Amino acid sequence: MPTGRTTSTRSTVAVLAAVVGLATAGCGAGPADLMQPSMQMMEISLGVHCVYCHDPDATKRDLDTNPRKEVARGMLRMVDEINKTTFKGQAVVNCYTCHRGDTHPVSVSNRRYDAPAPKP
């Protein structure tokens, strides 16, 4: 059950920034500087607005009252791990890779696939 607690903004934003490909090293940008562009990337990737994961009351946005927020964090950790282990830390995979502007991931099996022509 969600609680009114908050989580470490620094660690969440660091993972989020890595996932969406925002450079943090050597650019002088701190977590607060990366929050807005990171959130905008998630909005575009999922086709949603802030209240999809956050409390509609802007003064309570940092609270973990919406279970979707924890799901999003888990997905961010998954994408971060994929990029670390498969792409040597480069931000190749991000939210849009699978979600394509929808709240549920779109799988290849849901898309039309034309098999290549047989070789002669």
Query: Residue 36: CB partners within 8 Å, gap ≥ 6?
Result: none
Q: What is the pTM of this model?
A: 0.65
List the alpha helices (DSSP H) in 28-116.
Answer: 31-46, 67-86, 95-99
Q: pLDDT tens digits, residue range 60-108?
A: 888 888 888 888 888 888 888 898 899 998 888 888 888 888 888 887 6
Length of the chain (residues): 120
* Domain spans of the chain, in order of start: 9-110
